[in-house]
Chain A
Amino acid sequence: MLLIECPYCGERPELEFVYGGQAHIARPQNAPDLSAQAWSDYLYQRDNTKGIHAERWRHTHGCGRFFNALRDTTTDHFIAIYKVGEAAPAALKTRKVAL
């Protein structure tokens, strides 16, 4: 069970959250005019990144807010947490590990 840092409430166990899939996929404004392929890409295409993945979480059993996170899908470690509407942080701080 992951430990997830809600930007509004702090660190909470994963059980309080619902995963929201890849972040930064905006619903097209001009949906009715979109080509079939473009609409299908919006609906279904995901980066499925192996590595640093920008994703959404919702603190459903808490404040109820959506937020974004960068997580390394090869380790499940979170690298950054940021709010909806903000761009993904470019500078990735590396996690401190100890022996």
Chain B
Amino acid sequence: MNGALRVDAGGRINRARPLRFTFDGHELTGFEGDTLASALLANGVHLVGRSFKYHRPRGILAAGSEEPNALVAVRRDDARYTPNLRATQVELYDGLEAHSQNRWPSLSFDIGAVNDLLSPFIPAGFYYKTFMWPRSAWKSLYEPRIRAAAGLGESPTQADPDRYSNRYVHCDVLVVGAGPAGLAAASAAADVGARVILCDEQSELGGSLLGEPDGARAPQIEGERASAWLTQTIDTLTRNPRVSLLPRTTAFGYFPHNLVGLNQRLTDHLANPHPDSPRERQWQVRAQEVVLATGAIERPLVFPGNDRPGILLAAAARTYVNRYGVIPGSRAVVITACDEAYRAALDLHDAGVFIATIADVRAQAYGPLAERARRAGLPVQTLTTLVGTSGRLRVNAVQLARIGDDGKVIDGVQTMPCDLVLMSGGFTPSVHLFSQSRGKLAWDDKAQSFVPAQSAERVRSAGSCRGTFALAAVLEDGASAGSAAAGDAGFANTARRPAVPAADPAIGAYAGALPQPGESTGHKAFIDWQNDVTTRDLALATREGFRSIEHIKRYTTTGMATDQGKTSNLNALGFVSRQLDKPIPEVGLTTFRMPYTPVTFGAFAGFARGDLFDPTRTTPTHDWAARNGAVFEDVSLWKRARYFPRNGEAMHAAVARECLAVRKGCGIFDASTLGKIEVVGKDAVTFMNRMYVNAWTSLAVGRSRYGVLLRDDGFIYDDGVVARTAEDRFHVTTTTGGAARVLAMMEDFVQTEWPDLSVWLTSTTEQWAVIAVQGPHARRVLEGLVEGIDISAQAMPHMSVAPGRICGVPMLLFRVSFTGELGFEVNVPADFGLAVWEAIHAAGQQHGITPYGTEAMHVLRAEKGYIIVGQETDGTVTPDDAGLAWAIGKSKPDFVGKRSLQRPAMAAADRKQLVGLFTADSQVVLDEGTQVMLERDQRPPVRPLGHVTSSYYSPVLSRSIALALVAGGRARMGEALYVSTPNGDVPVQVTSPVFYDSEGARLNG
């Protein structure tokens, strides 16, 4: 059937390139340059979808992104299934597979249409009034049914294999919309040398010009046909290296400080996209100046039965004829409140469509277009309204009635058969982006529209998006906006005015429902097509006391469908304004929100998926650990080796083996992730005294000390070993996760509180590889490798630090232990980390050196009662709570957090304090986070005494151990308490948090 409904020539389709496609399995043909909508119409298919609530048959209303009805799913394969696409935006490609939505069993026979019959009982907001009894039925019965009925398309069910990319750019002038105004603006700005980005949501640049007839009836610009001007203009822009043209690119959001988000669709129009090409690209454009040339959207008219397939916006029908060469019907009735519909009638008439009548609701139709229509012999009836339509799956007749001088409908209905209705309620300027930019809008009564008034950003509007409709005026407006924008961006401001014929007069508009006789004909008059919101719903909402347009919108859902009210908002406002007898500006305008049209989630995510979701930080020995079977854990951005299973060991077995190796022989551990900050300057010690709770003045060069850092609210923020490597130099270590925020906090104090201190801070976390060698054999392992340092117990006691060399590379050697064993931490430049690690590992073989991971490290430190910030502490723990009061420099006048430690709550006797717990059954390992109770079997709610912070099986003790924060814990030594578990309370005994070698003999070995 293809071709039957096409004009013979003209338009922007390529008749030499037929394309096959399917719709609900039916094989059809279109042409290159078609949208799915134009190709369907060319095949005589008007029924393309079912409405959201009543499942009414719906056709194609529009030709652009404002389409509310014709939503389809496009399937490339099981994983590339995209629901809810507007058929008017889907570009045809060979093999395209489209499906209608929200119907069962078929589009033409849909069981859900029974809702249409039930509509008297399911008005707006009906669900707020019912489904409440019995209470349990909401979850089991009502809600599942409501949910099944709601929704439009089906979600994809497989991971999307396509890629998305993003780009950040700056430009002098961003022009949004490549219709005549946008092209004129971009040309004017580009002519004076500005860097210009011009984007448009359509596949071709040209905007409204694409829908104009060519040939003899073509509009003239600068003395030539519009199509020729368009070709030349685009050609000139294309050749300008400072101009970027972005078709298929929607400006979806306007953000503060002139940042505009663009969504560029790269492959959806291709039959066989290159597998490496991203599907979409998100641009974030920071523009010095923005020109919005976003055009205007034709407004439907509201009358009973206005939703049948075959009822189109007039300008859309014109676009189908002129751009796509499609004849959307054979016998048309035009209903209008706007001169532009006459232009559509003339173009369709020229294409061979019989124009049964042009019904104009206005009293007069004197404009030049109306005159042309009359001269062409088209019947024009003024003061005429449309009071009904008929036709099940497509309109087959309309009923017209006369409007009296008093504005009331006169009795007597004229029925007129037709298969096409064109309607026009005028044009609504697309102020979405302007409003998103927080610009103020003003009501224009003549245009029955809101138009841009005052900008909040560096933005101008040009052309029909600010209510300028005549082509000549639009071009002039665009050119002057482009010039002025370039001027404000620092280029010459040379207004360029194309020679144009005289402007058209004002064209007319209508907001609200058309006059109807009496109360109601029983047919629904739709305001919001997609969400099935009718005049009756809006009337009900106002009757029920909803007056703010935001309330009415939310109660009736008008304007909340996937088209976000592009075709409905002004009619809703107009209707409500009459219901409430308030002028439209007083009813209010719902806020425009991003995005302008829906934007793919994947385009926001861009490259951030899988390994690129977050940066991955690895230590110098990462690959070695991976080769040696390490299981890694995520700690902030780092990958840390958690344990090194051998021969399929489970974690607990590997951890036990690693722990015992450290206790009995020697272990090697990569501690490189610990944060490292170099604090340097003549006031370094003063700075450290003020930052950390400890006293630093007495710390000798070559010695280190465990430091505790508080926030000013008195709670533990971080900890770590701090070494004094020179009089004016400290090597500060932090927790892995705390490195960045500790440096930030230090910088804050240095720069803003104590600028008088001479001190500099440098992060050296990634400069050093840190290799911990721990265990009774640690010294013997290192002895042969270390150069220039005497590492004997006498020369290098616990907590000493010395520079030297190892394996020929510079080293800072710490005698330090987080395991309770004799231990060293070898700091070498990161690039040598792996080589030194391998050398130590090789040298340690004869001593049974064993690599261990973070899990064994946790067990070993817990056996010694060493805390981990973030595990024993949680932002509510003071040094005293954690048993670290000893670290506080008592004689210091102040340090960060000191004053807060005097607050009443900090001194309370029932503060939670760090203790150890032994389970009565030594083999029971408590779950971390379990709650400590005073008594057994208490019924909730009960206030626990505290909770278990760390809990492990200690291989060296052959029993379980736990650290816990317990209210008044240090006074409870030996006390019997209970730990609540899902399987009952476990008896425990409070003990010291130091479980192993409490005298520290091994440490000092």
Contact = CB atoms under 8 A, between A and B. Distances in A.
Direct contact of A and B (CB under 8 A): yes
A13 B284 CA distance: 11
Nearest to A23: B752
B898 A99 contact: no
Contacts of B461: 99
Interface in A14-62: 18, 20, 26-27, 31-32, 34, 36, 39, 42-43, 56, 58, 60
A43 B752 contact: no
B485 to A, nearest CB: 8
Contacts of A58: 744, 747-748
Please indicate which of the listed interface residues B289, B455, B894, B904 has the most CB atoms of chain A within 10 Å of its own CB: B894
Interface stretch (B219-227, B252-260, B333-341, B908-916): B252-260
Given A1-B255, A98-B488, A99-B455, A32 B748 contact: no
Given A13-B286, A60-B744, A97 B457 contact: yes
Interface string B895-931: 0001110111000000000000000000000000000
B454 interface: yes
A89 interface: no
Contacts of A3: 256-259, 286
A27 B455 contact: no
A75 interface: yes
B751 A65 contact: yes
B1003 interface: no
A32 B714 CA distance: 12
B455 A98 contact: yes
Nearest to A66: B751
Interface in B722-767: 744, 747-748, 751-753, 755
Contacts of B256: 1-3, 75-77
Main secondary structure of the interface of B (DSSP, over half): mixed
Nearest to A84: B752
B678 to A, nearest CB: 14
Contacts of B255: 1
Given A75-B256, A99-B460, 10 more contacts: A1-B255, A1-B256, A13-B168, A26-B753, A32-B894, A42-B712, A43-B900, A66-B748, A84-B751, A98-B484
A85 interface: yes
A2 to B, nearest CB: 6
B460 A98 contact: yes
7 contacts: A2-B257, A3-B258, A39-B903, A56-B752, A58-B747, A98-B488, A99-B452
Contacts of A34: 899
A42 B255 CA distance: 34
Contacts of A13: 168, 286
A58 to B, nearest CB: 7
B713 interface: yes
Contacts of B898: 31-32
B458 interface: yes
Contacts of A39: 899-900, 903
A36 B903 contact: yes
A65 to B, nearest CB: 7
* B256, B457, B893 pick with most chain A CB within 10 angstroms: B256
A96 B484 CA distance: 14
Interface string A77-94: 100000011000000000
A18 B453 CA distance: 35
Contact of B284 (A1, A66, A97): A1
Nearest to B750: A66
A96 B258 CA distance: 13
Contacts of A65: 751
Contacts of B900: 39, 43
B256 to A, nearest CB: 5
Contacts of B455: 97-99
A95 B459 CA distance: 13
Nearest to A56: B752
A31 B899 CA distance: 6
Most buried by A among B457, B488, B904: B457
Interface in B505-558: none
A26 B904 CA distance: 24
Nearest to B457: A97
B593 interface: no
A82 B453 CA distance: 33
Contacts of B286: 3, 13
Nearest to B902: A32
B438 interface: yes
Contact of A20 (B284, B289, B748): B748
Given A32-B893, A39-B899, A98-B455, A75 B748 contact: no
Contacts of A64: 747
Contacts of A66: 747-748, 751-752
Contact of A97 (B259, B454, B747): B454
A64 to B, nearest CB: 7
Interface in B449-468: 452-461
Contacts of A77: 256-257
Contacts of B753: 26-27
A42 B753 CA distance: 13
A27 B284 contact: no
A85 to B, nearest CB: 7
Contacts of A27: 712, 753
A42 B713 CA distance: 10
A90 B552 CA distance: 45
B565 to A, nearest CB: 25
B484 A18 contact: no
Contact of B713 (A2, A31, A43): A43
B607 to A, nearest CB: 15
Contacts of A36: 903-904
Contacts of B904: 36
Contacts of A26: 753
A39 B897 CA distance: 11
Which 5 A/B pairs are nearest by Cβ-Cβ distance? A3-B257, A31-B899, A66-B751, A76-B256, A27-B753
Contacts of B748: 20, 58, 66
A96 to B, nearest CB: 8
Instruction: Select the residue from A34, A39, A42, A85 with max chain B CB neighbours within 10 A.
Output: A39
A60 B748 CA distance: 11
Interface in B473-489: 484, 488
Contacts of B484: 98
Contact of A75 (B438, B755, B894): B438
Contacts of A75: 256, 438, 456
B452 to A, nearest CB: 7
Given A34-B899, A43-B712, A97 B458 contact: yes
B889 to A, nearest CB: 13
A18 B259 contact: no
A43 B78 CA distance: 56
A9 B184 CA distance: 36
A76 B456 CA distance: 11
Contacts of A99: 452-455, 460-461
A64 B750 CA distance: 12
Interface core residue of A2, A39, A98 (most chain B CB under 10 Å): A98
B458 A98 contact: yes
A18 B899 contact: no
A69 B518 CA distance: 63
A32 B458 contact: no
B894 A84 contact: no
Contacts of B456: 75, 97
A18 B744 contact: yes
A9 to B, nearest CB: 15
Interface centre among B457, B752, B898, B903 (most CB of A within 10 A): B752
Contacts of A76: 256-257
A72 to B, nearest CB: 11
Which has the most chain A C-beta neighbours within 10 Å: B257, B458, B753?
Answer: B257
A3 B902 CA distance: 42
A48 B747 CA distance: 24
A3 B899 CA distance: 38
A1 B455 CA distance: 19
A10 B899 CA distance: 39
